[in-house]
Structure formats: C-alpha cells, structure tokens
Structure 1
Amino acid sequence: MAKILRAPKELRRPLDRMNSTLWELCDGSRTFTRICTEMNHLFKEEIAPVIARTAVALSLFQQHNLLLILNEPLDGRWSVGPGIIPENQELADLEEDSIYDIELLSGEQV
C-alpha cells in the first residue's frame, strides 16, 4: 500500500526544545515526578502547568509507539545504551559513511 501511494520511506517528527529535552530525560532512569521536576527547573513558567503538559507530551510519545511507560523502575531489565543489540535480533551492518552519534553521554555506562 505504501509503495502504491508513494509514501516516504522515512518519517521525521522534529521536536521543539521542550520535547527534545523531555525525550532525553526519558531514558528509563527517572520517574515521572523527577522528569517533571527537571522540566520545571529548566523551563519554569514556559511549561506551566508542568505535570499536565508533561503527561500530555509523554502520552503523545506513547501513542506514536516511541515510548513505553512503566509503573516500576527499569532497573536494568534491558540495556538502553547505544550500540547494544538485543538477543535474537539480527541487524545489517551500517555503511561506513553513515554518520551517527553513538558516543556515551557523560556518566553513561555500557
């Protein structure tokens, strides 16, 4: 169907600076409360009311299958670090000229 309708092979969803920050904070190490606290600290009145706006943004990420919301800590149940391939997943090698930032963030461990 996508081929017939000439759908794009890649769909990009650019994020504004608040949603980009929220995305970065959603790494499995923070609770909803902690994420709201950090967003409130960074954006102050611009994000008020922080709890409602953060909840809506996370819900949209979840609706687009970009985010899984857990009711308990991730606690290393799966690795969220760069360059880790889950068991039973076969991925083709990237071309050498592909440019991706896969460096660990400050304080991150593989």
Structure 2
Amino acid sequence: MATEISEEQLPIDRELGAAVLSLLPDEWTGALLRVERVPGEEDAERYRIQITPTGKGRGSVTPDEEVEVAVQKLFLLHQRFKTGLQSISYTYRQKKDGSWGQVGEYEYDDSDEEAVG
C-alpha cells in the first residue's frame, strides 16, 4: 500500500511544486511551503498555507488557487489512505544549474486511525 500512495502522490507533489515555483520572485533562491490542516465545522477542512523564502529573498508569497487545489488533492489522498496527515513542509532550493530540488517533511496525528502503509 505504501507504494500505491507514493505513486499517486508523486504527480500531486509535482503539480504543487510547479504551482509554488511559478509564484516565487526571481530573486528567491529557496522557499519553504508550510501547510497545516485546520479542522472546520461539519467535517469541512481548511488549510493554513505559508510560502516564505529560505535563501536569498524577503517577504512572503500569497498562495494562489493552483497551490490551494494541489494542497487539497494531497490532503484528500492522505485522508483516503487514513494516514492522519496533519501538516507538510516542502523546502525548494535552486540548484547551480537553475533547476529546483524539493525535500518534504510530513507530520501525522497519532490519534487518527491506524495509518496504512
């Protein structure tokens, strides 16, 4: 099952990465995307999304609809697999050749149902 969720998550991660990178100012050489799940009323979920620089650059970036949709897809995938995903932190770094790398960290809620995978 872990392979199945990984295979489904990869295109979502790519979509999310492309959406985030399209918003970054040219002077930024790194960025941190931090997303926290915020339970809402009647099982509705909201997400607190922050995009801040980690390398050169200042300020923050306001997430657009593409970022929000990709975030929702990611959390819905994890909900389907009952992982208890609570938050993600994706760090993007610009490489010397101009391409970008991505590293992800995930936090899970231990009180949710047993995680699959």
TM tier relative to shorter chain: under 0.3
Q: Of the two structures, which has the highest relative contact order with CA contacts closer than 8 Å and spacing of 6 or more? A: 2
TM-score normalised by L of structure 1: 0.27
Say which structure is richer in strand. Answer: 2
